Chains A and B, each alone.
Chain A
Amino acid sequence: DAGVTQSPTHLIKTRGQQVTLRCSPKSGHDTVSWYQQALGQGPQFIFQYYEEEERQRGNFPDRFSGHQFPNYSSELNVNALLLGDSALYLCASSLLTGEQETQYFGPGTRLLVL
């Protein structure tokens, strides 16, 4: 049973470019959350997807957008990249129930913007 997978593992882009990061959730999970972790800091919530819709969103600009597919996998898109977007991007999956569920994290995609 594969856990959460993310691709690519590393990525280098230049300012102004666009990037797409991908996440496949743990088998049986229907909810995907994305987090940004700058160096030396805790992760910050970007948004969460459930049933192909954005369910919650953190304090990130509209340059950050996402998508969830029918198979529950998800993409994070960032347009007009800035140097400050350099970070580790983490995807976490869970099963949406009425109770709190453990979230499972992927290995992350390390993005460097030059």
Chain B
Amino acid sequence: KNEVEQSPQNLTAQEGEFITINCSYSVGISALHWLQQHPGGGIVSLFMLSSGKKKHGRLIATINIQEKHSSLHITASHPRDSAVYICAVSQETSGSRLTFGEGTQLTVNP
């Protein structure tokens, strides 16, 4: 079993829909990261959080430390949101080294 699990693996939505991507982890963490990867390969950090909730524009990330679970929400989705969304954790014993989930491929159709 992977230390970081994401669901769903693939997600197709219509423009304007509310989207949720889930992440569960099985290790002690110091922080959880949500990242976005476009087809070219480059990765952009969206959020880093260790508790509660963060919001940036149409993106919202939440984390429940007790349940070892995080969600990434996208409100009013748009075709330009199409990308791979990856959850990663910094483990308590591993400093800034990241352990990644497998990613969720999101496609938003117009």
Q: Which residues of A are in contact with B by a Cβ distance under 8 Å?
A: 31, 33, 35, 37, 40-45, 48, 55-56, 58, 88, 90, 92, 94, 96, 100-108, 110
Contact = CB atoms under 8 A, between A and B. Distances in A.
A34 to B, nearest CB: 11
B42 A100 contact: no
A90 B48 CA distance: 19
Nearest to A89: B41
Interface stretch (B57-65, B66-74, B75-83, B93-101): B93-101
Nearest to B45: A102
Contacts of B35: 105
Contacts of B30: 100
A104 B88 CA distance: 13
Interface residues of B, number: 26
Which one of B42, B43, B44 has the greatest number of beta carbons of chain A within 10 Å?
B43
Q: Is the interface of B mostly helix, strand, loop or mixed?
A: strand
B15 interface: no
Contacts of B4: 42
Interface of B: 4, 30-31, 33, 35, 40-45, 48, 50, 86, 88, 90, 94-103
Contacts of A104: 45
A31 B96 contact: yes
Contacts of A45: 97-99
Contacts of B40: 107
A45 B88 CA distance: 11
Contacts of A110: 41
B97 A48 contact: yes
